């Protein structure tokens, strides 16, 4: 992964208080990372930095969309993503271990590169399944052939289930006629 200097936040000379930084990431940004979670996507990132005496409080506001094959019909769809993530940056020269909520940087640092944080926060903001609400847009983006095939399979499954119920019912009816004494 190469370093993205455009994602540096110069915090050293910034005054205490709130500062806002805006970034845009696209497919080129994601190609620099080994993971192929996102191959095509565009995101607007707003980083709100609250600089305090001993730390930085960063809030990442993520909004955008990525393209992926639908998990239902395999058509290429654009999946919207909106998320807020937060992380604290503390200054430390003793090599403390980073945690999920806090990262540590040396007191001599002047810039904070947020490229890796942006990638990580976008990645964890993705939905578990690549689907959209097809019904609300009249299946506009869906592959009709695949959906028709699913519908046929569903009808066949219902028919098989009904036949199994009838078969089961016949067995129980026969057992009801058995007299044990």
> Hey, where are the domains in the chain?
5-136, 143-176
pTM to 2 decimal places: 0.75
The pLDDT, as a whole number, for residue 145 is 77
The pLDDT, as a whole number, for residue 160 is 82
Output the CA torsion 8→14→16→18 (10° steps).
-50
- Nearest CA to 77 among 121, 138, 126, 143? 143
How far, in Å, CA of 53 to CA of 90, rounded?
10
pLDDT tens for the chain, residues 1 to 181? 455 788 999 998 889 999 999 999 999 898 888 877 888 999 999 999 999 988 999 999 999 999 998 887 778 888 999 999 999 999 888 878 888 899 999 888 889 999 999 999 999 999 998 877 666 665 666 767 777 777 787 888 888 888 777 777 766 666 677 777 6
How far, in Å, CA of 64 to CA of 10, rounded?
25
Instruction: For the chain, give the number of residues.
Output: 181
Supply 1's token pair: 């992964």
Distances (CA, A) of 84 to 95, 115, 131, 161: 28, 16, 21, 45
């Amino acid at each position: 992964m190469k370093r993205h200097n455009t994602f540096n936040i110069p915090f050293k000379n910034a005054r205490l208080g709130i500062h806002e930084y805006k970034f845009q990431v696209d497919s080129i940004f994601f190609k620099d990372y080994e993971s192929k979670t996102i191959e095509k996507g565009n995101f607007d990132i707003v980083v709100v930095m609250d600089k305090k005496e001993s730390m930085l409080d960063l809030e990442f506001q993520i909004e955008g969309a990525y393209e992926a094959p639908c998990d239902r019909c395999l058509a290429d769809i654009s999946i919207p993503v909106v998320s807020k993530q937060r992380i604290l940056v503390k200054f430390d020269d003793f090599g403390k271990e980073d945690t999920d909520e806090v990262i540590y940087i040396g007191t001599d640092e002047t810039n904070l590169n947020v490229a890796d944080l942006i990638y990580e926060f976008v990645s964890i903001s993705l939905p578990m399944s690549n689907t959209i609400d097809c019904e609300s847009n009249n299946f506009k983006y869906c592959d009709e052939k695949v959906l028709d095939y699913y519908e046929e399979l569903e009808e066949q499954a219902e028919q098989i289930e009904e036949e199994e119920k009838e078969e089961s019912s016949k067995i129980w009816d026969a057992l009801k006629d058995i007299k044990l004494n």
